[in-house]
Amino acid sequence: MKKRENWSWRGAFVFAVLGSAVGLGNAWRFPYMVAQNGGGAFLIPYIFALLTAGIPLMMLEFGIGHKFLGAPPIAYRRANKKLEMVGWWGNAASFVIITYYGVVLAWAINYLVHALTLAWGDDTTGFFLNFLRVSEGPHILGGLNVPVLIAFVIGWIMVIAIIRSGVTGLGKVVVFTAIAPVILLIILSIRGITLEGALAGLDYYLSPNFAALADLTVWRDAYSQVFFSLSLGMGVLIAYASYLPRDAELSNNVFIASLADAGIAFLAGLAIFSTVGYMAAQQGAAVADVAGSGGIGLAFMVFPQVINLLPGAAAFGVIFFLLLITLAIDSQFSLVEGCVGAVMDKWNLSRGTALAIVSLPGFLIGLVFVTNGGLHWLDIVDKFVNGYGLIVVGLVECIAIGWIIGPQKIRDHVNGLSEIKVGKWFDFCVKYLTPAALIFILVFNLIIDIKEPYGGYPQWALNVGWAMVILLPIVAFIFSKLKTAKEADEFVEEQS
């Protein structure tokens, strides 16, 4: 077997994990999830989900990747031949995310250009809808949106260029892409908080709404947001951990990455909701209405508002969107890398071939979201793949590790390497707590979603979402049955 590629220096791994975790999930998805769930109702379930699923599962994925040295399918296969499918399942889910993540990235690239002239003017909401020329419903695709298409191609070229350079290259890019955005978000938050009306926005964001905790869709969204934001359940972290040196620290990296990710999402929320408060005050509208009407485009309507109000707005806007792009790119390449690693390891292919196998279909399918009806589809696919796809994968992971492989095996491995020892709580989470929470959420949301179609979309469009969720394990099963290169089955214990 080829010697496994390694991160080039010690800090590279934690930066890479941060680079993957911190992305559009923090700056774009988190705020609109908060808004969709009525503001202050969201933070408590979110923190709960972070502790009960986020941290244990991240530990688990680091442990598997590092112990069994492979991208997800092969790592699971080495743990137990029957489990290979679990790995592919995560890869399949991440592939779905790859297809639309690149489109949101393309919006950001367009906004970078618009920032030069502050083209969005004062009516940033109208500008966004006009920019996407959103069709009336998912049944009207309309044509391709040319500016988005151009940016979509550019985005893919950048991602491919970075991945081609291999793991050593990744290590260098992420240092910049992980840190710089934080500084910008702090500046935006400070400006946001000092705006007129900001307090009402912050109140909406931060004051806990205990009544809403009874609504189970809030919990589902919180868990799926944690999965999305921490890059969990998609094999990315398994693949990344497999590139670590044999004597790497694991557990402290889990805490650094998960807490930093949550902190950055929180910061983005501060900037967004203080500005939403300002927008509401300007329009004489209620904060909840302004936040709720933004939908999936919320961040793109709100960030430009606060940018308008900064000294040197255009320059600031350019820097901000540049950073949003870098933030998104390292997440997108981690998604692609997870799949590329899987294909490479399974069939012992070269990086280039595997990259072509993953990115060509990823690009082509993504074109659906570049159409005028794309926003509706993005909304549906995002909802289903995160709300069901990822949560199911997380559950399957817990069952595989908790009940088949044995959580103490992973824990022993992690503890053998790390300064911070992982206690028995880990076994308890993986065996009981996390799966129980996930099953509970799945069952109740199934009932809710069957009763009341999500987002008012027609049933046939939602069925596409359901079909996708069902297809994920089928595809995973088929892939796991394909012939494996014999190199993948030679387990080399001592590598570095």
State the nearest-atom distance from the C-beta of 27 to ligand PHE, in Å. 8
| Closer Cβ to ligand PHE, 7 or 333, answer by number | 333
- Among positions 458-487, residues that touch ligand PHE (CB under 6 A) are none
State the nearest-atom distance from the C-beta of 28 to ligand PHE, in Å. 8
Using CB atoms, what's the residue nearest to ligand PHE? 25
Stretch that binds ligand PHE, among 19-27, 145-153, 279-287, 301-309 (CB under 6 A): 19-27
Does 20 bind ligand PHE (CB under 6 A)? Our answer is yes
Q: How many residues bind ligand PHE (CB under 6 A)?
A: 16
State the nearest-atom distance from the C-beta of 264 to ligand PHE, in Å. 9
Stretch that binds ligand PHE, among 20-28, 40-48, 212-220, 437-445 (CB under 6 A): 20-28
State the nearest-atom distance from the C-beta of 222 to ligand PHE, in Å. 14
Selected from 124, 331, 371, 372, the binder of ligand PHE by CB under 6 A is 331
State the nearest-atom distance from the C-beta of 186 to ligand PHE, in Å. 18
Q: What is the 3-state secondary structure (H, E, C) of the chain?
A: CCCCCCCCCHHHHHHHHHHHHCCHHHHHHHHHHHHHCCCCCCHHHHHHHHHHHHHHHHHHHHHHHHHHCCCHHHHHHHHCHHHHHHHHHHHHHHHHHHHHHHHHHHHHHHHHHHHHHCCCCCCHHHHHHHHHCCCCCCCCCCCECHHHHHHHHHHHHHHHHHHHCHHHHHHHHHHHHHHHHHHHHHHHHHHHHCCCCHHHHHHHHHCCCHHHHHCHHHHHHHHHHHHHHCCCCCCHHHHHHHCCCCCCCCHHHHHHHHHHHHHHHHHHHHHHHHHHHHHHHHHCCCHHHHHHHHHHHHHHHHHHHHHHCCCCHHHHHHHHHHHHHHHHHHHHHHHHHHHHHHHHHHHCCCHHHHHHHHHHHHHHHHHHHHECCHHHHHHHHHHHHHHHHHHHHHHHHHHHHHHHHCHHHHHHHHHHHCCCCCCCHHHHHHHHHHHHHHHHHHHHHHHHHHHCCHHHCCHHHHHHHHHHHHHHHHHHHHHHHCCCCHHHHCCCCCCC
- Among positions 75-104, residues that touch ligand PHE (CB under 6 A) are 94, 97
State the nearest-atom distance from the C-beta of 207 to ligand PHE, in Å. 25
Selected from 334, 371, 415, 480, the binder of ligand PHE by CB under 6 A is 334
Stretch that binds ligand PHE, among 23-31, 251-259, 304-312, 460-468 (CB under 6 A): 23-31
- Among positions 213-242, residues that touch ligand PHE (CB under 6 A) are 228-229, 231, 234, 236
Does 324 bind ligand PHE (CB under 6 A)? Our answer is no
State the nearest-atom distance from the C-beta of 315 to ligand PHE, in Å. 25
Does 21 bind ligand PHE (CB under 6 A)? Our answer is yes
State the nearest-atom distance from the C-beta of 412 to ligand PHE, in Å. 27
Selected from 12, 13, 14, 25, the binder of ligand PHE by CB under 6 A is 25
Q: Which residues bind ligand PHE (CB under 6 A)?
A: 20-21, 23-26, 94, 97, 228-229, 231, 234, 236, 331, 334-335
